[in-house]
Amino acid sequence: MIWPAAKNASKVRKAETVHVNQERKNEMTDEIMTVNCPICGKSVVWGEQSPYRPFCCKRCQLIDLGEWADEEKRIPSNPDLSESDDWSEEQQ
């Protein structure tokens, strides 16, 4: 036998969850998030209206790409020297 209250409980929980999620979504959209451009420091709105985010413009995006390409920027690592693939010396 299914109790009448239990029969609709899942629908009530689902409706409450949707309501809470909608409230959170509204809270998040009310706040405008801004970040600073990593190249020039200009304030950039984090949203669809800023296609180059986190950069303020295409120019700053390309400057950053160039720094990576020139190896001015790199991700730090600890190389394992025991398994080096150094082919500069003749192996015997």
- Compare 86 and 33 and report the one with higher pLDDT: 33
Is 56 one of the annotated binding-site residues? yes
User: Model-level pTM greater than 0.75?
Assistant: no
Ordered by where they begin, the domains of the chain are: 32-72 (3.30.50.10)
Q: How many beta carbons lie within 10 A of that of residue 56, not counting itself?
A: 21
Is 37 one of the annotated binding-site residues? yes
Confidence of residue 77 (pLDDT cuts 50, 70, 90): confident
Is 60 one of the annotated binding-site residues? yes
Using the predicted structure, report yes or no on whether residue 5 has a pLDDT greater than 80. Answer: no
Confidence of residue 76 (pLDDT cuts 50, 70, 90): confident
Give alpha helix (H) positions in the chain: 4-7, 9-30, 58-69
Integer CA distances (angstroms), 10 to 13, 18, 55, in order = 5, 12, 45
DSSP, collapsed to helix, strand or coil, labels residue 74 as coil
pLDDT, tens digit, 9 for 90 and up, residues 11-59: 555 555 545 555 555 555 578 999 999 999 999 999 999 999 999 999 9
